[in-house]
Structure 1
């Protein structure tokens, strides 16, 4: 009986940890939703004060990122495929594939990136501290990735 209670306690504790960790991807998703909506305020809300984006060989601050996100006649839809993640205290590390479908009335294109993110717990919220993004060559689709629409 004691073993059963210990096992049940372990399951409850493990489930609650896992449930809390599920929201570590939220700032990544929030940032890209804000990009799709050209919402600079929400872009800033997803990152901490030290945020850096290592974007295909360049170092960007949130201001640099915001400066390239401008209104257009294109609609961006985001898809993600998480490779793995790990939480260490108030810091989490996430590796994932990112796919964006960008379309207007004349054209539709899929662009893929291999990305990693470091998120930090600030108060009771996870915020992006750093992202690294490598764009894949045009029309190169990641093998084995299962994308989930945002």
Structure 2
């Protein structure tokens, strides 16, 4: 019985999952927070299709307000949005409120805030989102994102 308890304790210690808030100093958590920032700045704001493979795994999926998006779906969206949204600046900010980490996987929940500025004025968007990032030989990449739009503010 003692042997089983010792094994259980070792297992818990080696694969422990812990919660952290935005003040966390863990470099992996900071790296994933920066990854989220980079994704929104480069893909969703600047519409740089070439950065998708840098930030996402090949099997990445986005659950976007009832739809399933893949890297190809996102690339198509970027191309259409780049034509449609000329002159619109998107500024992103995040409130990371829950993080769970294991050795090679981080799950994170956050509020995503965007301000859209153009000659026609300014509007704001807000989403409640979560991501799963996995550690690869090239650093952290997103494997999944779940996003729920909240009512848009003008």
TM-score, shorter chain, exceeding 0.5? yes
Maintained 8 Å contact 1:27/1:47 = no
Q: TM-score, normalised by structure 1?
A: 0.77
Once the two structures are TM-superposed, the CA of residue 124 in structure 1 deviates from its matched residue by 4.6
Please list every run of 5 or more consecutive structure 1 residues that lacks an aligned counterpart in the other structure.
Answer: 1-16, 141-150
Spell out, residue by residue over 1:59-117, the C-alpha distance to the aligned partner (whole angstroms, 9 max, x if none). Answer: 00011112112222211110111011111110100000001111111121000000000
| Equivalent of residue 125 in structure 2, options 89, 102, 111 | 111
Partner in structure 1 of residue 41 of structure 2: 33
Maintained 8 Å contact 2:133/2:143 = yes
Work out the CA distance in 2 between the residues paired with 1:55 and 1:102: 19
Maintained 8 Å contact 2:41/2:92 = yes
Measured on the aligned residues, the alpha-carbon RMSD in Å equals 1.7
Partner in structure 2 of residue 24 of structure 1: 32
Maintained 8 Å contact 2:37/2:93 = no
Partner in structure 1 of residue 53 of structure 2: 44
Confirm or deny that 1:97 pairs with 2:105.
no
Work out the CA distance in 1 between the residues paired with 2:146 and 2:99: 14
Confirm or deny that 1:58 pairs with 2:72.
no
Work out the CA distance in 1 between the residues paired with 2:138 and 2:73: 27
Confirm or deny that 1:85 pairs with 2:93.
no
Moved over 2 A (4+): none
Work out the CA distance in 2 between the residues paired with 1:100 and 1:84: 20
How many positions carry a matched residue from both structures? 124
